[in-house]
Amino acid sequence: MRIQCIGRSPPHARVIVPREAPVTWTATYAPALGAPVIQQRQWPTMNRPVQMSVLWFRHGLRLHDNPALLDAISGPPSMFFPIFIFDGESAGTKVIGFNRMRFLLESLADLDRQLRSRGGRLWLLRGDPSKIFQRLWEELALTKVCFEQDCEPIWNERDQSVRATCAERGVRCEEFVSHTLWDPKAVIYANGGLPPLTYQMFLHTVSTLGEPPRPVEDPDWTGVTFGTLPPRLVKEFQVFDEVPKPEYFGLSQPGYGLVRWIGGETRALQHLRERLTQEEQAFRKGIILPNQSRPDLLGPPTSQSAALRYGCLSVRRFYWNLHDLFNAVSQGDPPAGLNISGQLIWREYFYTMSVYNPHYAEMSANPICLDVPWDKNPTFLEKWKKGQTGFPFIDAAMRQLVSEGWIHHVARNSVACFLTRGDLWISWEDGLAFFLEHLIDADWSVCAGNWMWVSSSAFEQLLDCSKCLCPVNYGRRLDPWGEYIK
Ligand SMILES: Cc1cc2nc3c(=O)[nH]c(=O)nc-3n(C[C@H](O)[C@H](O)[C@H](O)COP(=O)(O)OP(=O)(O)OC[C@H]3O[C@@H](n4cnc5c(N)ncnc54)[C@H](O)[C@@H]3O)c2cc1C
């Protein structure tokens, strides 16, 4: 049922009747809605906007380069409601450990702070998104729901349900691609309807699409009116007064509790500036991807993977900042054949590969994954998880993973190879489940893609299985003085 404004009453005290039954509307509807027939809007003055537009944050927890935000605050005057819904799965909250939840909550708190400084707030609701949008439509004049594309198939059911709810009620539902450089569906389309099975094919396909779009402009907050939810909806949606702590969700701090990574757009942009300074110094010395070519296991936390995963940092902003910097340093004459943003393209590749494959994170049902007869060894698996294998480098990495929620790429490669084809011969699915819980940047498709890659289970399937990372020598090479281990 949609409630509709009629008559010439000013918007702050108008008669509201359901659209379907304008004539028969009586007080009998009121108890069901829990609302009086004559409803007092929160809007303080006359000639205020009467429509309601929602920006539904899922990933993309930022204000910069946010096309969904620009759309939500554009068009006819409307009340603007930025919301995040704790539905038990959005933003990867289905399988989540303390550190990742902390990073997510810090990112939400950062958004809330930024919005409050502009006169609004972030509404943190609990419930099923589809039902929430239905209720917003029933109770308020919801006209538009904007969100960033969540391209992985695990979000399809949620988004289709929301789209159907909105479509039935004539609410505009606007989705924007900004979590990835290109639209993964457009990449697949450009490749004749099939995901490009190799990285080289992927590079070729995206080259036919041209450069990824540049970031959109920052929002202009002039004239934006933030809405307020009526108390009955605050109660019904169990709105949080303030951003909760991970303990609220029954999670407790693991390991030695060192916090190196802090979530949120503000911190991500600060890290980006530091990172670009590092990159510039490297470019000037003719080095690209410095953190990969010269891994520093004890270095400062400059990784952007968690910020990219939650969208606190726009991948397009990162990509274009890197390229513009590189072009400036090389004075418009960049050496050919260098892929300075190659790592970002891997992220893109794994997203694209999973778009139409709901079984991407499994072995047997997954059409791109080899069926490997892995061992079942719960004791070894447990020792690996607890960092008790007896191999100091592997154990140090696993303990860092559990305590901090982040380990360097070379350490991820080592522990993943060790668990699978290198030493324990245990399925990558077990490793993935553990990573998804503990990594702050854990991303369903990126994590599964890397696990399949390292275990030689998918993709080019050309990895030479005789070349495994030695858990002793490789560790010695990366950490010759044992400082990381200590
Ligand atoms: C078994 C395993 C699991 C992994 N799981 C994840 C995961 O869940 N989420 C995640 O973001 N990365 C994952 N990675 C990839 C990689 O280890 C991290 O992205 C990287 O360590 C982040 O550090 P950085 O930001 O300094 O990377 P940089 O080298 O600075 O790269 C910049 C960005 O590119 C992306 N990127 C880098 N390497 C990869 C890669 N191999 N695959 C896809 N994207 C990449 C990340 O978003 C990263 O922040 C995994 C790697 C392995 C071996």
pLDDT digits (tens, 9 = 90+) for 114-151: 999 999 999 999 999 999 999 999 999 899 999 999 99
Which whole number is the average pLDDT over 347-368?
Answer: 96
Evaluate if residue 48 carries a pLDDT over 60: no
Q: Euclidean distance between the first and final Cα of the chain, in Å?
A: 63
Report the alpha-carbon distance of residue 58 to residue 109 in Å, rounded.
Answer: 14
Question: How many angstroms is it from 332 CA to the middle of ligand 1?
Answer: 28
Other Cβ atoms within 10 Å of 15 Cβ, number: 14
Predicted confidence band of residue 26 (pLDDT cuts 50, 70, 90): very low
Average pLDDT of the chain is: 87
For 172-265, strand residue ranges (E) read 172-176, 225-226
Q: Residue 147's closest CA among 225, 274, 264, 54?
A: 54
Which whole number is the average pLDDT over 403-432?
Answer: 96
Report the alpha-carbon distance of residue 167 to residue 162 in Å, rounded.
Answer: 8
Question: How many angstroms is it from 248 CA to the middle of ligand 1?
Answer: 29
For ligand 1, what atom is nearest to the CA of residue 436?
8
For ligand 1, what atom is nearest to the CA of residue 441?
9
Nearest CA to ligand 1 atom 39: 343
234 contacts: CB under 8 Å, gap ≥ 6 = none
Instruction: Answer whether 427's CB lies under 8 Å from 363's CB.
Output: yes
- Domains 2-178+216-236 and 259-354 are alike in CATH topology: no
Amino acid in position 332:
G
By most ligand atoms within 8 Å of CB, the mutation choice from 345, 446, 452, 456 for ligand 1 is 446
460 or 268, higher pLDDT: 268
Predicted confidence band of residue 53 (pLDDT cuts 50, 70, 90): very high
Nearest CA to ligand 1 atom 44: 347
Concatenated DSSP letters of 294-351: S--TTS-----HHHHHTTSS-HHHHHHHHHHHHHHHTTT-PPTT--TTHHHHHHHHHH
Q: Give me the pLDDT at residue 118, please.
A: 96
The model's pTM? 0.89
Q: Give me the pLDDT at residue 137, please.
A: 94
Q: What is the chain's length?
A: 486
Q: Ligand 1: residues whose CB is within 6 Å? A: 289, 291-292, 303-305, 308-309, 343-344, 346-347, 350, 408-409, 412-413, 416, 435, 439, 441-443, 446-447, 450-451, 454
For ligand 1, what atom is nearest to the CA of residue 344?
34
Give the neighbor-by-neighbor strand order of the sheet with 13-18. 3-5, 13-18, 38-40
Report the alpha-carbon distance of residue 395 to residue 411 in Å, rounded.
Answer: 10
Q: What are phi and psi of 27, to 5 degrees?
A: -65, -15
Q: Give me the pLDDT at residue 81, please.
A: 97
For ligand 1, what atom is nearest to the CA of residue 349?
43
For the segment(s) 378-478, the CATH number from 1.10.579.10, 1.10.3720.10, 3.40.190.80, 3.90.550.10 is 1.10.579.10
Nearest CA to ligand 1 atom 49: 305
Instruction: Answer whether 58's CB lies under 8 Å from 127's CB.
Output: no
Q: Residue 35's closest CA among 16, 51, 20?
A: 16
For ligand 1, what atom is nearest to the CA of residue 315?
47
Report the alpha-carbon distance of residue 300 to residue 98 in Å, rounded.
Answer: 21
Structure tokens that stand for 197 in this block: 């099975």
Question: How many angstroms is it from 365 CA to the middle of ligand 1?
Answer: 25
Nearest CA to ligand 1 atom 46: 305
By most ligand atoms within 8 Å of CB, the mutation choice from 99, 304, 305 for ligand 1 is 305
Query: 3-class DSSP state for residue 56?
Result: strand
Nearest CA to ligand 1 atom 21: 409
Q: Residue 411's closest CA among 287, 259, 291?
A: 291
By most ligand atoms within 8 Å of CB, the mutation choice from 441, 443, 452, 457 for ligand 1 is 441
Nearest CA to ligand 1 atom 2: 450
The radius of gyration of the chain's CA atoms, rounded to the nearest angstrom, is 25
Topology annotation, domain 259-354: 1.25.40
In the annotated binding site, the residues are 302-305, 343-350, 441-443
Q: Give me the pLDDT at residue 33, please.
A: 33
In the annotated binding site for FAD, the residues are 302-305, 343-350, 441-443
Element (H, E) at 5: strand 3-5
Amino acid in position 382:
E
Element (H, E) at 203: helix 199-209
Q: Give me the pLDDT at residue 333, please.
A: 66
Question: How many angstroms is it from 155 CA to the middle of ligand 1?
Answer: 21
| Domain layout of the chain by residue ranges | 2-178+216-236, 259-354, 378-478
Question: How many angstroms is it from 409 CA to the middle of ligand 1?
Answer: 6
By percentage, how much of the chain surpasses pLDDT 70? 87
Strand partners, 426: 375
Nearest CA to ligand 1 atom 15: 409
Nearest CA to ligand 1 atom 19: 305
Nearest CA to ligand 1 atom 20: 409
Which whole number is the average pLDDT over 376-397?
Answer: 98
Question: How many angstroms is it from 450 CA to the middle of ligand 1?
Answer: 8
For the segment(s) 2-178+216-236, the CATH number from 3.40.630.10, 3.20.20.80, 1.10.1670.10, 3.40.50.620 is 3.40.50.620
457 or 6, higher pLDDT: 457
Break the chain down into helix, strand, coil percent, rounded to 5: 45, 10, 45
For ligand 1, what atom is nearest to the CA of residue 408?
21
395 or 279, higher pLDDT: 395
Question: How many angstroms is it from 57 CA to the middle of ligand 1?
Answer: 23
Evaluate if residue 25 carries a pLDDT over 50: no
